[in-house]
Structure 1
Amino acid sequence: MTVIKRIFTNLFSGWFQLRRSFPAPLLDEISQAIGTGEAQHIGEVRFAIEARLSIVDVLAGVTSRSRAEQVFAEQGVWDTEHNSGILIYLLLAEHRVEIVADRGISRYVEQEQWDAICSRMCKHFAQGLWRQGSLEAINQVHGLLRPYLANLQVSNPNELPDQPIIL
């Protein structure tokens, strides 16, 4: 996508989608799905939704991936005892989804697996299936984490909030 197209996309898209696509009841369901899944392993999942980037960010070359990594750091998703944080990041204006995994998870799960989840989410979202895409992705993330991070002989406190982050 060219810089000009990204500027127009971020100026005129996304901001009106946020509350329509992610109403309060869906945000509550997302929070519940995160909490339920985290009870089964030591991973910590965060779900962030950003309507659009600022024009300054677009001109600076900020991509959805670099923004997701920035949010990962700013929200302290990396700051878990077992380096087991995961961020699911949505940039509504550009129809982009990114998953950033901490180093404690990256050794078990390849980026291609995260990318496949992102791709499925985008397909659901393109059809207006915001609830299905979000909840299915969260369940798939938990499914990838369970084989590696479940049944460990460590404590499993809820280290990060389960509520979605609205940026």
Structure 2
Amino acid sequence: MKLSLISDYFSKEEKQAVVDAIGQAEKQTSGEIRVYFERSTKKMTPMQRAYRAFRKLGMDKTEHQNGVLIYIAFGDRACAIIGDRGIHEKVGDHFWKEELEIMQTNFRRDEYVKGLQKTIQLVGEKLSYYFPYQRDDVNELDDEIYFDED
């Protein structure tokens, strides 16, 4: 069965499980995590599309520059993880590559939700180390999953 929308691939419960993982991770950090799906990289690299989505979602405007985007081009089976300047300067390329490999391993087994949950958890742990939760923390960006269905 061919699904017309990417969001149809996931049940309501699976979507909520990912949103809950984001919320749980963000309870420990002032950092922000988002998940973004689209059908195709549109002949760009996954990183180029991820940067574009990062800016489109306003993730480059967080106070501490500690937003992280998990990007998936579902139809192309391509993905990327990017962090804003504040977190990237702390963890470097190696961390993002490790997390990407964990996520891709799960995706190859069609365990998308499990892969996202694990990656969100690990990114959240790293964010909490460098950007711990503050009493006056404001959730700058909502915790929803974004589906670009174009």
Q: Is the TM-score greater than 0.5?
A: yes
8 Å contact kept, 1:14–1:92: no
**Aligned counterpart, 1:103:** 85
Using the alignment, how far apart are the partners of 1:24 and 1:166 within structure 2? 14
Equivalent in 4, 8, 20 of residue 19 of structure 1: 8
**Aligned counterpart, 1:118:** 100
8 Å contact kept, 1:49–1:91: yes
Unaligned runs of 5+ in 2: none
**Aligned counterpart, 1:90:** 72
- Determine if the alignment matches structure 1 residue 166 to structure 2 residue 135: no
Structure 1 segments of 4 or more deviating over 4 A?
Answer: 13-18
Summarize the Cα distance change of 1:103–1:14 in structure 2 as closer, same or farther, 3 Å threshold.
Answer: farther
Unaligned runs of 5+ in 1: 1-12
Summarize the Cα distance change of 1:162–1:50 in structure 2 as closer, same or farther, 3 Å threshold.
Answer: same
Q: CA RMSD in A?
A: 1.9
SS at match of 2:54: helix
Q: TM-score, normalised by structure 2?
A: 0.89
Distance apart, 1:17 and its partner CA = 5.7
**Aligned counterpart, 1:48:** 36
Answer with 1 or 2: which has the greater Rg.
1
SS at match of 1:128: coil
